């Protein structure tokens, strides 16, 4: 006959196992839903890109007419690619938990990529932007949207506090692309800092909204 203490421990262990499996099931279900939403957003973005004339800049995307945001929260804005580190993700409007659980997010306080100012895109360090740990100056970044395609060159990386205002600071009349994620990459829980990647337009690329006009 089993000892009472052993039986209690066995029952406790079984309960913990069941609870753990339940938590894993919830997490897996949440990730599945996020993946499904991301695929839906990506399909919609690709359809919009295919339907748009090549390099068609939309006048309403210029920084002078930017407020309020022109894309609803959670809707796809642009596709972001960094071939050197294997990064290829849809970027949706917004940087709240609901948006970043689905994809990388465009900060609505900044312009859209390609416009003559600083465009900021954020993503989770353990999901969409995990690959940023390997990014280096000189790497190419590509943004593809219904209003045009731009190629960028990474000019540097830096580590700042999570509330550093320089992340969203203006750059006009030059176009800048800023990618940001939590740092350190291996931090458990909410990380205290931000890893920031800065990219400028590649040679021969012109911003939309700058003195030279569209791409």
Q: Is 111 left (phi over 0), alpha (psi -120 to 50) or beta?
A: beta
Cα gap 102→109, rounded to integer Å: 20
124 assigned to active site:
yes
106 assigned to active site:
no
Q: Are strands 193-201 and 140-145 parallel, antiparallel or unpaired?
A: unpaired
Output Rg (C-alpha) for the chain, integer angstroms.
Answer: 21
Q: Which of 71, 98, 101, 124 is catalytic?
A: 124
Q: Which of 116, 167, 182, 199 is catalytic?
A: 182
Cα gap 146→201, rounded to integer Å: 18
Which DSSP string do the residues of 54-76 spell out, in sequence order? Answer: TT---GGGSGGG--S-SS-TTSE
Q: From the DSSP assignment, how many helices (H) and strands (E) are in the chain?
A: 2, 8
Catalytic (active-site) positions: 124, 182
């Amino acid at each position: 006959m089993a000892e009472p203490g052993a039986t209690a421990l066995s029952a406790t262990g079984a309960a913990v196992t069941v609870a753990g499996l339940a938590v894993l099931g919830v997490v897996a279900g949440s990730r599945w839903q996020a993946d499904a939403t991301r695929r839906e957003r990506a399909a919609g973005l690709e359809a919009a890109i295919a339907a748009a004339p090549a390099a068609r800049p939309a006048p309403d995307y210029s920084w002078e007419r930017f407020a309020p945001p022109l894309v609803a929260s959670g809707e796809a804005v642009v596709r972001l690619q960094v071939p050197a580190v294997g990064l290829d993700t849809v970027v949706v409007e917004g940087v709240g938990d609901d948006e970043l659980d689905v994809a990388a997010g465009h900060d609505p306080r900044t312009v859209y990529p390609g416009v003559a100012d600083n465009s900021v895109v954020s993503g989770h360090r353990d999901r969409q932007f995990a690959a940023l740990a390997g990014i280096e100056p000189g790497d190419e970044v590509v943004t593809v949207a219904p209003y045009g395609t731009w190629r960028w060159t990474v000019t540097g990386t830096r580590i700042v506090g999570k509330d550093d205002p320089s992340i969203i600071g203006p750059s006009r009349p030059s176009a800048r692309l800023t990618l940001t994620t939590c740092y350190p990459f291996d931090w458990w829980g909410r990380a205290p800092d931000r890893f920031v990647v800065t990219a400028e337009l590649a040679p021969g690329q012109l911003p939309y909204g700058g003195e030279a006009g569209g791409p």
